[in-house]
Structure 1
C-alpha cells in the first residue's frame, strides 16, 4: 500500500516538476531582490523568501519599502501555490491507491 502511494506520488511529482522548480527559482530570485533592496545578506534574503513562501513568517525580517512588500506578497503567493501543488499530488496518489484496492 505504501509503495503504491509513493509510486503515484513520484509519478505526479515527475509530471509537475518543471512547474515546481520554476516556483522555487522564482521564490529564491524574488527573495534575493528583496534582500538587495533592503540591504540584507544573501543568506537572510533566502531565509526570508522561504519562510515567507511557506507562510511561516516569523517576523524577524520584514521588508520596509512598498516595492519589497509587494514582492513579499508575490513570494507568499508562489509558496502557497507550491504547497497546494504538492498537496494535490499527494491527494491524487492516495485517491488512486484506494481506488485500486476496492473490489
Structure 2
C-alpha cells in the first residue's frame, strides 16, 4: 500500500530548495471526495485542514505548514475540514 509522507514545518531553506513559492496554488471548500493519484504529488499546505484516508489505511491529518507527498498509485478519500489552500507540484 502506498504511504503518505508528511514533513511537519520544513525549514525555509528546504522550501526554497524545492521551489515551493513557484508552485501553483489549489483551493478547495469544505467537502469530501475521492482522489486516485496516477502520479506523485508534493504539496505544501498554506491554510486549512484535511483528513486523507488511503483506501485500506488509517486517516492522516494534514495541517498548515505540512509538506506532503501523495505517491503515485495512492487511492484516497479526502475530507476538507477547513477551507484548503495549498501549493502543489507533480513529479
Question: Normalising TM by the smaller chain, what interval?
Answer: under 0.3
Computing the radius of gyration from Cα coordinates, the structure with the larger value is 1
State the TM-score, normalized to the length of structure 1: 0.19
**Greater RCO structure (CA 8 Å; 6+ sep):** 2
| Higher share in strand | 2
What TM-score results when the alignment is normalised by the length of structure 2?
A: 0.21
